[in-house]
Amino acid sequence: MFGLMVTGMMLFVQGCASDANKRLDQKIGHEPPVKNTSELNKEIQTTIDQDSSLTPDQKEKLTKLRKETAQKLLALRQESLKLRDILIRDFESENDEEIDLIHERMKDLNDQQVSVLFHSVREGNKILGHVPFRKGWIDGMITEGHARSSDLY
């Protein structure tokens, strides 16, 4: 009986995850293409500037966060482009060790970009006074020193 309940719960969780994936895919499908990061940054800044629900202090902090995030992401992208350039120039090389190193560094840079983005989202939520609904995010904020449990619960 217990095994049947566990199986049922697993199927329910998988169904929920599948629905969430479908909703995200629909959002992505409706999202217009982004021409470049400069255009995206302008759009974000325009949204910040025109949001009448934000206080001047929030706008200032969000603008600072957007600029810092953009600078960090640009530096990571530039490093990734350097590695791609080396890879392309040396593609005929039989130096598999170097190719493997480039691969690992590019994966690391990609992971760093994702970390920067999600850190920015968490910081933006703090500025707006939003507390994430998922406890894992809250625990992560506490673990990373961005909040105390007394601030969030």
Mean pLDDT of 45-74: 94
User: Of 30-34, 53-57, 72-76, 123-127, where does mean pLDDT reach its minimum?
Assistant: 30-34
pLDDT at 88: 87
Query: What mean pLDDT is reported for the chain?
Result: 81
Domain boundaries, the chain: 1-31, 34-152
Residue of 83, 76, 75 lying closest to 103 (CA atoms): 83
Cα gap 28→9, rounded to integer Å: 29
**Model pLDDT for residues 78-128, shown as the tens digit of each residue:** 999 999 998 888 777 677 888 889 999 999 999 999 999 999 999 999 999
